[in-house]
């Protein structure tokens, strides 16, 4: 069980999965899609950041946040504020009554830049804020909730309420936030026009690179003892506590990690799409993000990436040709993924494809360690067969 | 803001404002009671609660159309029939949903959340396909419109009073059902100790189905009542979901009394703040206060202290 | 469902049923416009748009799904009707108009994406679409970057003037100044209570209203906003009762509308008594269908178009619309504005003798549409329309009765001096 | 009882005036008792006497309404569960709670007292020290051969031992076991008694148990609880002969 060297790892089956994903994202998609579709794929990938965070937070540690849109939005807004300031030079905004401030502020009679916008002139600060602001809020929410043992559905509902509050605030304070229209008409990043095809291409590759960085970070966490504690905590929280771990600290950590991923995703979203608006902060957006994770397989970080790609591609495809069917399909997806295949694509893969692979390549099933997801799949299905009483226990411990 | 008004004018306004708070209270009670049963008693997160309410509203719309077309002479009383229909139809759909979906998910409360969210998407699109994307206007009988003139300035809206009475009746009925009937005893037995309840011969599956159906049926009545004060459109149900869950959680999920107390507290807070502040800020502040209190006191207002 | 089935049918005509139409159109061309000999494609299309020798492709971009579909469906219908009528009359420069319809799904990035697709992939010559300001703001950079042409139908807050957009609805001052002047002059209003849903259009409009009211030396007795979808208005109604304004100036939208007017009625504020009177710029005939005529009877709306307008253009338009989509259809202000889009584009193309966007832009200002259902419109230098301001009184049957109309066309002024 | 004369420091655990009430119902009522180092103490009593609640109170799972719990001179009532564990108190639950989807090795490794902070857990490496400790404990709890088995595949009795092992590897000064032999076969019971005897060489043990045979096998002293209070305390023979105890057991 020693950490294998990098080369060995790439040769392992798990390594191959990562290589395949990289091939898909770096070679296949850019070669087969035109710049327009590729940029859309890039947009889908920004949701994959959130989905990876949700795998860690919900799949592993059992904390279902219905407010990931908050962090996605905060990251996105931080980036948008920087870009907007760059676009609002005194020359470009000379027709305004106060040149040099974003146009929507001018329309709302603001005559100077609010204090919290000031630091976003700095790119370094912006980069820090993209991760820092979501993490800070996650820290506050996590600290107050987890140290008081708010868990399970209660936590989900609270995060949902926070998402609702933030949306109303952003829409209501339009002089400072751009209101319901969001922060729009973003043009350049440090003088580099982000609207051109070549820029979209570059942004796509940056997005892929960051995605892999997050994947590796998530993988590292889940392979370390920390990852085992998260899983253990999900099943036997009390035992973990009485093994001497501060459960709340671990929950806060993983919640903040997910928030950081979401923040990065949001910032990339702003760059790729060219604007940010409150509709990505709200409840509906946040719940949709959960389905990306659920479809891919709530325990598999790679599955999350595929889930985000597939759901969004299906959404674009279906709503182009059959707009009426899309909500039905989305609804069926939610129900199906819960009722029929709770482990999502990754689960289906492990149940049906992997045995086939094993037969074809005549390989013994990979040892339990590199394939711990397999065991976990069995775990979830075992859970389903468990008696009702134990679930009541779980439920009440969540609340106590 | 009260300069230049006479005392009697101020008194009237405060009376009216009190009434506004009460009618918000009854709206919250109606929204939350169905969910309080489903969520509080069964632990199921029904994200489609709003859509069940809208189903009740559409039922009312259809009933009103039916009466206008075939029984115009009885139009004045159609609303009562509509509410009964709304209850029955929503309860029937609820029972079906429980049978097809929820009963397989009792062990996974978070998953009921996702599955019912999917259900809500499907229901919304179904409404859109059947009734069209536009909101529909439900015509009210003449006697429900207008207001009762109490004094010169104090006028009490009849539909507000009506919603209030329905809320009271349902709360009372539910209380009797849950705490004074054999069936309620069974429900509570199953909630508290399922294996033991089964051991003494309670068919827990049937109890679950009935409980879920009851919750959905109450949502239907709520939706029916809301046609008097709100809108009926395919996505109208979503507007209720956050408020509803907060009311239930704030009250302490397993306590019906708690739900009512919390509905009262939140509605009074909101309507008072709305009076002194602008609407949006009042809403944000109310939500913040509720979330803040819940962070400090996660078990809600009326939590039972149980040895675990 | 019914509505949609019909619109798909219309779509089928637009896309596939061309053979039959072409015959019809050809005969009409011969009869009506003998001079319009079809110019060669190379001459009228120098920017690689989707123009062939006998067709030209345009885009329709509205929300068919999601919360906004309620509002946008009428615009889609009107745009399709206009395209159909243009085709029947011989098309544009001898070419039949085909359309590609995309669903914005009430989601702003989707709007941006789809507009990019329409311009990039489908190379449409013009796009008729968007409804909310947010969706327009989202697509605007795309249109400016790819040099497309958007015909935007909704009345909106102004504060925008893009070379790539023709705004066929009213901007805020056109709606508001006329409304307030009328209320002051005709109804002797001295105090106003401003109320709105909480987003940019109501806020900007109320800002203009407030400035104007204060300029006239009158009072604003209250101003406030409620979140979109809010359904409890009892508190604000009490405040209104306390303040006793002469006019409630309401810009409430969507589901909130229904709740607001029902609760207003229930609280004893009967708009027909005009104590206070209710003046709105957000309730078209479309909205009344959802609110219920009996709930809004007696309110006044300031728009540029009402379905009941009594002129030959409008009679023909309403008849054609009902023939196409059914007798129970109602037509609101935005629907009419959407109908103007394809016609204004057609006239610009014909005036320019080309589909090129730059040439269309150059000739657009000054284009007049005399057959507009609302009467007569002309495109201003700032890409908005000169149009009349009108005040309608809501009747129980869901229609407005015209009670006032400005004598002159009102000049559009998206960046009004002194109102910002 | 001469406890009052002795100083706090002499005891490993001193519980004084401990009370907890749930909505007015006093599950534990003004309870006081003391544990010597290396003592093995069994709490018995009829159902609902408050035995498990006492363990819950000591390990911090339930917060006391009033009273104090001093462990090696430290006040525990204000500490959080994991802090109490770090003080050296280990707790085994009535139903075995092990991590079913991890192997026996991993179960023990997780409980190894190092890398308990978030960053520590991230940096944790499986070195020789850890492996030695795990193997040593595995031998004690008869699970040397099952180290790589997933815990889910163990028998009920083995899970109980594994949980005890997870406590042992923490090297606690006080072990609290809630019905360690419940549901065990006769052979397993014997082995468990043997295990406990090994453990008590180095640890103080507090056990809640029903099985009087087993109690007799292991206990130094026995505390009998009834309705949240101590009914009797002393050697097994002493309490068996106590008429109050007989009354409670036979009377119910």
pLDDT tens profile A199-240: 989 999 999 999 999 999 999 998 888 988 998 888 888 889
Q: Is any Cβ of chain B less than 8 angstroms from the Cβ of C292?
A: yes
User: Does residue A178 belong to any structural domain of this protein?
Assistant: yes
A35-49, B139-153, B160-174, C316-330: range with lowest mean pLDDT: B139-153
* C172-303+389-405 matches C2-169+309-386 in CATH topology: yes
Identify the CATH class of C2-169+309-386.
Answer: alpha beta
pLDDT at A6: 64
Query: What DSSP assignment string belongs to C65-97?
Result: SSTTHHHHHHHHHHHHHHHHHHHHTT-BTTBEE
Q: Which residues contact C341 (CB under 8 A, 6 or more apart)?
A: C79, C82, C128, C151, C153, C166, C168
What is the dihedral angle through the alpha carbons of A388, A391, A392, A393, rounded to the nearest 10 degrees?
130
Q: Does residue A12 have a pLDDT over 90?
A: no
Closest CB to B298 among A154, A339, A391: A154
pLDDT at C103: 86
**With a CB-CB cutoff of 8 Å, which residues 57-76 of chain C face chain B?**
65-67, 69-70, 73
Q: Is any Cβ of chain C less than 8 angstroms from the Cβ of B132?
A: yes
Q: Is any Cβ of chain C less than 8 angstroms from the Cβ of B73?
A: no
Q: Does residue C267 have a pLDDT over 70?
A: yes
Length of chain C: 420
pLDDT at B1: 56
On chain B, the residues whose CB falls within 8 A of the CB of C263 are 157, 160, 229
Residue C139 sits at the vertex; the CA angle it makes with C135 and C140, to the nearest 5 degrees, is: 110
Q: Is any Cβ of chain C less than 8 angstroms from the Cβ of B137?
A: yes
On chain A, the residues whose CB falls within 8 A of the CB of C143 are none
C377 in Cβ contact with C340 (< 8 Å): yes
Decide if B306 and D22 are in contact by the 8 Å CB cutoff: yes
Closest CB to D118 among A241, A249, A382: A249
Decide if D97 and A239 are in contact by the 8 Å CB cutoff: yes
D142 in Cβ contact with D134 (< 8 Å): no
Q: Is any Cβ of chain C less than 8 angstroms from the Cβ of B225?
A: no
Percentage of chain B with pLDDT > 90? Answer: 23
On chain B, the residues whose CB falls within 8 A of the CB of A389 are 194-195
> Please, do chains C and D touch (3+ CB pairs < 8 Å)?
no
Query: What is the tens place of the pLDDT at every residue in C68-112?
Result: 777 888 999 999 999 999 999 999 999 999 999 988 877 888 898
Percentage of chain C with pLDDT > 90? Answer: 56
B134 in Cβ contact with B141 (< 8 Å): no
Measured CA to CA, the distance from residue C280 to residue C299 in angstroms comes to 7
pLDDT at B95: 95
pLDDT at A291: 86
Confidence bin at C18 (pLDDT 50/70/90): very low
> Please, do chains B and C touch (3+ CB pairs < 8 Å)?
yes
pLDDT at C17: 44
Q: Is any Cβ of chain C less than 8 angstroms from the Cβ of B141?
A: no
What is the C-alpha end-to-end distance of chain B, expressed in Å?
52
Mean pLDDT throughout C119-143? Answer: 91
More confident call, A7 vs A369:
A7
Confidence bin at A246 (pLDDT 50/70/90): very high
Mean pLDDT throughout A122-147? Answer: 94
Bridge-based pairing state of the strands B147-149 and B155-157? antiparallel
Bridge-based pairing state of the strands C127-129 and C55-62? parallel
Whether the bond between C395 and the residue before it is cis, its omega within 30 degrees of 0, is no
Measured CA to CA, the distance from residue A376 to residue A222 in angstroms comes to 13
Tokens of A334: 């939610």
Percentages (nearest 5) of helix, strand, coil residues in chain C: 45, 20, 35
Domains and CATH numbers, chain B: 16-296 (1.10.3470)
Mean pLDDT throughout C171-191? Answer: 91
Q: Is any Cβ of chain B less than 8 angstroms from the Cβ of A396?
A: yes
Q: Is any Cβ of chain C less than 8 angstroms from the Cβ of B18?
A: no
On chain D, the residues whose CB falls within 8 A of the CB of B307 are 22, 27, 53, 62
User: Does residue A61 belong to any structural domain of this protein?
Assistant: yes
Mean pLDDT throughout C162-184? Answer: 92
On chain B, the residues whose CB falls within 8 A of the CB of A165 are 284, 287-288, 291
**Best interface-test mutation with C: which of A93, A181, A280, A327 has the largest number of C CBs within 10 A?**
A181
Comparing CA positions, the residue from C174, C173, C172, C118 lying closest to residue C146 is C118
B172 forms bridges with which residues in the sheet?
Answer: none
Decide if A174 and C105 are in contact by the 8 Å CB cutoff: no
Query: What is the tens place of the pLDDT at every residue in B222-281?
Result: 999 888 877 788 888 887 888 888 888 888 767 788 889 999 999 988 888 888 887 778
Q: Is any Cβ of chain A less than 8 angstroms from the Cβ of B155?
A: no
pLDDT at A380: 42
**Best interface-test mutation with C: which of B239, B240, B282 has the largest number of C CBs within 10 A?**
B239
- Chain B nearest-CA distance from C349, in A, is 34
Closest CB to A40 among C65, C113, C228: C113
| Structural domain containing residue D82 | 3-251
pLDDT at C197: 87
More confident call, C250 vs D93:
C250
**Best interface-test mutation with B: which of D21, D22, D93 has the largest number of B CBs within 10 A?**
D22
Percentage of chain D with pLDDT > 90? Answer: 6
Q: A touches which chains (3+ CB pairs under 8 A)? A: B, C, D
Percentage of chain C with pLDDT > 70? Answer: 90
Number of Cβ within 10 Å of residue B184's Cβ equals 17
Q: Does residue C6 have a pLDDT over 60?
A: no
Q: Please give the interface size between A and B, counted as residue pairs whose CB atoms are below 8 Å apart.
A: 148
Mean per-residue pLDDT of chain C: 86
Decide if A236 and D97 are in contact by the 8 Å CB cutoff: yes
Q: Is any Cβ of chain C less than 8 angstroms from the Cβ of A324?
A: yes
Confidence bin at D250 (pLDDT 50/70/90): low
On chain C, the residues whose CB falls within 8 A of the CB of A319 are 65, 103, 105, 110
Mean per-residue pLDDT of chain A: 83
Decide if A168 and C138 are in contact by the 8 Å CB cutoff: no
Q: Is any Cβ of chain A less than 8 angstroms from the Cβ of B110?
A: yes
Mean pLDDT throughout C335-356? Answer: 95
A294 in Cβ contact with A344 (< 8 Å): yes
More confident call, A374 vs A173:
A173
Decide if A225 and D116 are in contact by the 8 Å CB cutoff: no
Confidence bin at A11 (pLDDT 50/70/90): low
On chain B, the residues whose CB falls within 8 A of the CB of A64 are 110, 113
Q: Where are the domains of chain C?
A: 2-169+309-386, 172-303+389-405
Decide if A231 and D91 are in contact by the 8 Å CB cutoff: no
Measured CA to CA, the distance from residue A159 to residue B242 in angstroms comes to 10
Query: What is the tens place of the pLDDT at every residue in C34-50?
Result: 444 678 888 888 888 99
Q: Work out how many domains chain D is built from and give that number.
A: 1
A191-195, C194-198, C347-351, D208-212: range with lowest mean pLDDT: D208-212
Query: What DSSP assignment string belongs to C360-379?
Result: HHHH-TT-EETT-TTS-EEE
User: Does residue A63 belong to any structural domain of this protein?
Assistant: yes
User: Does residue A89 belong to any structural domain of this protein?
Assistant: yes
Interfacial residues of B (vs D; Cβ cutoff 8 Å): 304-307
Q: Please give the interface size between B and D, counted as residue pairs whose CB atoms are below 8 Å apart.
A: 8
3-class state of residue D30 by DSSP: strand
The residue of chain A nearest to residue B192, with distances taken between CA atoms, is: A392
Query: What is the tens place of the pLDDT at every residue in D145-183?
Result: 888 888 888 888 888 889 989 988 988 889 898 888 877
Q: Looking at domain C172-303+389-405, does it have CATH number 3.40.50.2300?
A: yes
Q: Is any Cβ of chain A less than 8 angstroms from the Cβ of C420?
A: yes
Mean pLDDT by 10 residues, chain B (308 residues): 70 82 88 87 87 94 90 84 94 94 85 90 90 78 77 78 90 88 85 81 87 93 86 81 85 81 90 82 87 80 52
pLDDT at A5: 62
Q: D touches which chains (3+ CB pairs under 8 A)? A: A, B
Mean pLDDT throughout C231-252? Answer: 89
Mean pLDDT throughout A362-387? Answer: 43
Q: Which residues contact C351 (CB under 8 A, 6 or more apart)?
A: C363, C367
pLDDT at A134: 96
Q: Work out how many domains chain A is built from and give that number.
A: 1
Q: Is any Cβ of chain B less than 8 angstroms from the Cβ of C145?
A: no
Number of H helices, E strands in chain D: 10, 10
pLDDT at B3: 64
On chain C, the residues whose CB falls within 8 A of the CB of A179 are 199-200, 203
Decide if C204 and A40 are in contact by the 8 Å CB cutoff: no
On chain B, the residues whose CB falls within 8 A of the CB of D62 are 307
- Chain C nearest-CA distance from B284, in A, is 9
User: Does residue A5 belong to any structural domain of this protein?
Assistant: no
Q: B touches which chains (3+ CB pairs under 8 A)? A: A, C, D
Decide if A245 and D90 are in contact by the 8 Å CB cutoff: no
Q: Please give the interface size between A and D, counted as residue pairs whose CB atoms are below 8 Å apart.
A: 92
Q: Is any Cβ of chain A less than 8 angstroms from the Cβ of D91?
A: yes
Number of Cβ within 10 Å of residue B264's Cβ equals 19
């Amino acid at each position: 069980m020693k950490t294998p060297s990098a080369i060995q790892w790439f040769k392992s089956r798990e390594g191959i999965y990562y290589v395949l994903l990289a091939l898909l994202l770096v070679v296949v998609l850019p070669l087969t899609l035109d710049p327009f579709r590729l940029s859309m794929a890039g947009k889908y990938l920004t949701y994959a950041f959130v989905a990876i965070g949700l795998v860690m937070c919900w799949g592993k540690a059992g904390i279902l946040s219905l407010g990931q849109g908050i962090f996605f939005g905060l990251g996105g807004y931080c980036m948008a504020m920087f870009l907007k300031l760059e676009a609002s030079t005194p020359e470009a905004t000379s027709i305004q009554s106060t040149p040099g401030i974003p146009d929507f502020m001018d329309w709302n009679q603001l005559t100077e830049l609010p204090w919290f916008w000031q630091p976003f002139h700095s790119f370094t600060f912006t980069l820090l804020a993209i991760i820092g602001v979501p993490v800070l809020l996650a820290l506050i929410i996590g600290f107050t909730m987890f140290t008081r043992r708010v868990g399970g559905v209660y936590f989900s509902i609270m995060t949902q309420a926070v998402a609702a509050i933030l949306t109303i605030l952003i829409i209501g304070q339009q002089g400072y936030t751009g209101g319901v229209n969001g922060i729009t008409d973003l043009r350049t990043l440090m003088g580099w026009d982000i609207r051109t095809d070549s820029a979209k291409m570059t942004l796509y590759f940056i997005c892929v690179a960051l995605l892999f960085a997050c994947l590796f970070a998530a993988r590292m966490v889940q392979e370390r003892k920390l990852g085992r504690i998260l899983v253990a905590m999900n099943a036997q929280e009390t035992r973990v506590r009485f093994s001497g771990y501060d459960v709340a600290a671990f929950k806060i950590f993983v919640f903040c990690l997910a928030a950081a991923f979401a923040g990065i995703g949001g910032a990339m979203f702003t760059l790729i799409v060219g604007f940010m608006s409150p509709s990505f902060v709200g409840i509906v957006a946040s719940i949709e993000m959960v389905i990306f994770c659920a479809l891919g397989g709530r325990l598999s970080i790679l599955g999350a990436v595929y889930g985000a790609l597939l759901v969004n591609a299906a959404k674009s495809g279906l709503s182009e040709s059959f707009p009426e069917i899309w909500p039905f399909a989305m609804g069926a997806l939610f129900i199906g993924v819960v009722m029929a295949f709770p482990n999502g694509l990754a689960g289906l893969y492990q149940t049906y494809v992997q045995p086939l692979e094993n037969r074809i390549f005549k390989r013994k099933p990979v040892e339990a360690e590199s394939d711990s997801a397999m065991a976990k799949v069995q775990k979830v299905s075992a859970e389903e067969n468990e008696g009702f009483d134990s679930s009541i226990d779980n439920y009440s411990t969540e609340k106590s | 803001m009260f300069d230049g008004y006479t005392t009697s004018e101020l008194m009237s306004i405060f009376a009216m404002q009190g009434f506004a708070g009460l009618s918000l209270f009854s709206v919250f009670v109606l929204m939350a009671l169905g969910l309080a049963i489903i969520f509080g008693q069964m632990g199921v997160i029904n994200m489609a609660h709003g859509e069940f309410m809208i189903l009740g509203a559409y039922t009312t719309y259809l009933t009103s159309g039916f009466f206008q077309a075939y029984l115009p002479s009885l139009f004045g009383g159609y609303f009562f029939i509509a509410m009964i229909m709304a209850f029955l139809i929503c309860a029937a759909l609820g029972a079906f949903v429980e049978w097809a979906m929820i009963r397989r998910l009792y062990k996974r409360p978070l998953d009921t959340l996702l599955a019912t969210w999917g259900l809500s998407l499907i229901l919304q699109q179904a409404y859109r396909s059947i009734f069209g994307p536009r909101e529909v206007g439900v015509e009210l009988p003449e006697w429900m419109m207008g207001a009762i003139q109490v004094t010169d300035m104090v006028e009490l809206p009849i539909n507000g009073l009506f919603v209030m009475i329905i809320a009271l009746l349902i709360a009372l009925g539910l209380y009797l059902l849950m705490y004074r009937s054999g069936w309620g005893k069974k429900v509570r037995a199953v909630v508290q100790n399922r294996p033991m309840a089964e051991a003494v011969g309670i068919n827990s599956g049937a109890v679950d189905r009935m409980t879920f159906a009851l919750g959905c049926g109450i949502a239907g009545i709520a939706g029916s009542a809301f046609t008097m004060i709100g809108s009926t459109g395919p996505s109208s149900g979503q507007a209720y979901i956050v408020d509803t869950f907060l009311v239930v959680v704030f009250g302490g999920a397993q306590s019906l009394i708690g739900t009512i107390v919390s509905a009262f507290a939140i509605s009074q807070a909101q309507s008072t703040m709305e009076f002194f502040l602008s609407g949006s800020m009042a809403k944000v502040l109310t939500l913040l206060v509720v979330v803040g209190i819940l962070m400090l006191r996660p078990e809600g207002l009326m939590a039972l202290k149980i040895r675990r | 469902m019914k509505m949609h089935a019909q619109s798909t049918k219309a779509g089928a005509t637009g896309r596939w049923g061309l053979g039959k139409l072409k015959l019809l159109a050809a005969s009409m061309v011969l009869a009506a416009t003998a001079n319009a000999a079809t110019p060669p494609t190379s001459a009228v299309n120098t920017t690689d748009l989707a123009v062939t020798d006998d067709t030209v492709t345009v885009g329709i971009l509205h929300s068919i799904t999601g919360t906004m579909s309620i509002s946008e469906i009428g615009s889609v219908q009107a745009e399709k009707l206009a395209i159909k009528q243009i085709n029947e009359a011989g098309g544009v420069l001898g070419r039949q108009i085909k359309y590609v319809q995309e669903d914005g799904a009430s989601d702003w990035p989707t709007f941006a994406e789809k507009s990019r697709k329409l311009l990039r992939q489908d190379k449409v010559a013009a796009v008729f679409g968007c409804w909310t300001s947010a969706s327009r703001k989202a697509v605007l950079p795309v249109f400016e970057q790819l040099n497309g042409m958007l015909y935007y139908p909704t009345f909106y807050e102004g504060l925008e003037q893009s070379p790539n957009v023709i705004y066929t609805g009213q901007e805020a001052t056109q709606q508001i100044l006329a409304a307030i002047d009328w209320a002051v002059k005709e109804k002797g209003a001295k105090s106003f209570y401003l109320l709105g849903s909480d987003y940019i259009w109501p806020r900007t409009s109320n800002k203009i209203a407030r400035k104007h009211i204060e300029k006239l030396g009158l009072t604003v007795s209250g101003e406030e906003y409620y979140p979109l979808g809010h359904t409890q208005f009892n508190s604000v109604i009490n405040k209104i009762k306390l303040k006793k304004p002469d006019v409630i100036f309401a810009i409430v939208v969507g589901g909130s509308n229904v709740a607001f007017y029902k609760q207003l009625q229930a609280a004893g504020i009967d708009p027909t008594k005009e104590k206070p009177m209710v003046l709105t710029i957000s309730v078209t005939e479309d909205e009344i269908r959802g609110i219920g005529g009996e709930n809004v009877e007696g309110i006044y709306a300031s728009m540029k178009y009402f379905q009941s307008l009594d002129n030959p253009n409008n009679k023909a338009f309403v008849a054609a619309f009902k023939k196409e989509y059914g007798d129970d259809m109602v037509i609101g202000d935005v629907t009419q504005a959407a109908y103007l889009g394809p016609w204004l584009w057609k006239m610009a193309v014909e005036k320019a003798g080309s589909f090129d966007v730059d040439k269309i832009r150059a000739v657009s200002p000054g284009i007049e549409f005399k057959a507009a259902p609302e009467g007569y419109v002309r495109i201003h230098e700032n890409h908005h329309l000169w149009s009349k301001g009108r005040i309608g009184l809501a009747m129980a049957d869901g229609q407005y009765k015209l009670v006032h109309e400005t004598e002159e066309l009102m000049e559009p002024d998206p960046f009004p001096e002194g109102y910002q | 009882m001469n406890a009052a004369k002795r100083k706090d420091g002499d005891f490993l655990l001193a519980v004084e005036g401990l009370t907890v009430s749930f909505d007015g119902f006093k599950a534990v009522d003004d309870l006081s008792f003391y544990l010597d180092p290396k003592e093995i103490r069994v709490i018995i009593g009829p159902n609902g006497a408050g035995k498990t609640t006492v363990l819950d109170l000591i390990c911090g799972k339930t917060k006391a309404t009033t009273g104090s719990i001093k462990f090696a001179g430290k006040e525990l009532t204000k500490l959080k569960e994991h802090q109490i564990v770090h003080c050296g108190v280990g707790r085994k639950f009535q139903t075995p709670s092990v991590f079913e989807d991890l192997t026996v090795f991993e179960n023990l490794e997780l409980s190894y007292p190092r890398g308990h902070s978030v960053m520590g857990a991230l940096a944790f490496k499986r070195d020789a020290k850890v492996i030695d400790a795990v193997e040593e404990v595995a031998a004690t709890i008869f699970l040397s051969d099952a180290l790589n088995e997933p815990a889910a595949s163990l028998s009920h009795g083995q899970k109980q031992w594994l949980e005890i092992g997870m406590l042992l590897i923490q090297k606690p000064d006080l072990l609290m076991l809630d019905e360690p032999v419940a549901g065990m076969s006769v052979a397993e019971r014997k082995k468990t008694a043997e295990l406990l005897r090994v453990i008590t060489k180095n640890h103080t043990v507090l056990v809640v148990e029903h099985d009087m045979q087993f109690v007799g096998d292991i206990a130094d002293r026995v505390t009998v609880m009834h309705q949240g209070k101590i009914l009797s305390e002393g050697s097994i023979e002493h309490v068996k002969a106590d008429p109050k105890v007989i009354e409670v057991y036979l009377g119910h």
